[in-house]
Structure 1
Amino acid sequence: MLKLLYLVSLLCYGSDGLLLGDKEHHMIGNASGIEVLGRIETLEKQLAEEKRDRFILEQTVRDINTKFHGTLLSINQIELQQREFQNNVSRDNLEILQRSQNVNLTINNITALLQRTMSDFSSLSSKYNLEVQAIYSNISKMSGSVQDLQRKVSFFAKLSSSVRISAAHQTVVYDTVLTNNDNGYNPKNGIFTCPQSGTYMFIWQTLINPLTYIRLEIVVSGSALYGIVEDTQDANDFDTATGSIIIHVNVGDTVFIRSRDSGPGPMFTESSVITSSFSGYRI
């Protein structure tokens, strides 16, 4: 467009910028008409090209504006989506935090419950262990008692020959042993030493000559508890007397038969069958 105005100015005023008169204009028109027409055609082509370029440029600008507005819209949508995402993330984080706090609270409650349970279990376990120990102790005692009951304590001893009583508190030694379960009786000294505590029955039977008498007593742990008197002074015949006692005896207690006074005895033995004897057993 500027080039066209410049050419028109040259045609009207000349190269010196002065307005040409009719004569000069006519001369120029005659001399260079063809050239002017050529220039005009060139200018028109240039003008058309500029219009086309301007149209293309305007179309390009409109496309750019459209794309720019679309881009702005996309950016706005992205920003909106980003804000929504942030809001969602914040809400999710808050929910996660709340859930985490709830989970921690639940874990703390469970931990406290487990601690109380373990404490209660420890107390019950200690109590149970004590009870179990007491039960085992009772079982052990009962087992010992059962074993003691299973161990039958008994003895039977007799004289192998006549024994004369010559002094008071003379121990009668029954020297022939027929039964001695648990080995409580000693045939060398005539003393029974209790191997198991319990209630016992002791029996002693005495055979004496005619026209004599004898007094015997049973001694338990050093104390004379019971005695018998056998007297044949008014009867010209042999005689027997039997004494017995039921008493509780502890382990280690001693039991034996002795004379109460000097006699005059003796304790007679007719044979290995008919003789004096001493026996005992736990009931």
Structure 2
Amino acid sequence: MLVTLYILVSMVGVRSATVSILTDEISQIRTNPIINEISAKNVDVFRKLLNQETLIRINLVKNVHALMKDMLTLQEKLAETEGKISRIKTTTDDEISELKKQVEFLKVENTALKNKTAVDEKEIMILKENLENVANTLTDLKVEVRFLSITVFGMNDDFKEIDERFRELENSTKEIENEVRMNDKSNAAALSDLEKRHLVLIDDLKNITSSLQADIGEYETNQLKISATISSLELFRINQTLTKCDPKQKVAFTAGVTTRSSTWNSGTLIFNIVILNVGNGYNPSTGVFTAPVAGTYVFYVTALEYSKQYLSVDIVLNSEPKVKLVGDSEAAYQTGTNMVVLNLQKGDSVWVKHASGKGYWSTGIPVTTFSGFLIG
């Protein structure tokens, strides 16, 4: 194409042409005689060259437009692709940041779980030691319970006999009532006699009921005696345990109350009657035991609730409740007991504190008691 343009410009580059290449007309001014020799054949060649040049230019313009259109399309697709890549990068960065946070959280949680596991293992070791001590104590209590069971079984036999007598009287009463119904219309005299017998039996039932109530009162008294026996056996066990301790480290006490209260509902339960106080750790004025030496101690409390009023007390170490005992109100004068093994430092304090309910029961021989001793 450049060669063709060069030829065209060279041929028409004369200062004043005599023949118009485009119009093929003869100019009236003839200044150069050489131009007159240009033949019509050369003019046709020029026209063909111009036509080819025009066609080439048109094709070039079309190709340029197509290329520009393709470039614009590529730029749009490139921008769209860059936007997608940017969004994907942003999403990926967010996910990576979130995963890093989760990894850090899991690391912290794993460290906490490791620490907790170590603490739990120590607590399990302590619990195992406490369970061994409790197992030894339960062995001694089993012997005491067997002894008490023999006493209770004897009382149960008496109640069975009373119950059988009561049932016999009930059966007799039912038989008499049936006879009264059958002979009501036929024999008025017999009816009157049966009614008298019925009244006599009712009186007998009232007497038996009074006797049963007296027996129940005696049973409650025996229950109090059993509680006192338990306390005595506990004291015996304490003394037996103390004989196994180092003579220089003997600490033990048992205290009780010989009065009763139907209104006590707060504060420390003061056991003012001291039965034993080896080491002088228990203060009967305040009801508080203060450890004279560091070591492992056993504390045992028995409390009797006051006539269906419900009673619950806690064994407290330095103002922190450790165990609870309950005297239920389902029946009158129910006994609540509990025991705890504690590791004390010198100067630690243990006492019995009101939790709920009100009142407590005791007798001249203490039934509601508080005991403790050093085991090592």
TM-score category (smaller protein)? 0.3 to 0.5
Q: Of Structure 1 and Structure 2, which has the larger fraction of its residues in strand? A: 1
- Which of 1 and 2 has greater Rg? 1
Higher relative contact order (CA 8 A, sep 6+): 1
Q: Of Structure 1 and Structure 2, which has the larger fraction of its residues in helix? A: 2
- Using the size of structure 2 for normalisation, the TM-score is 0.33
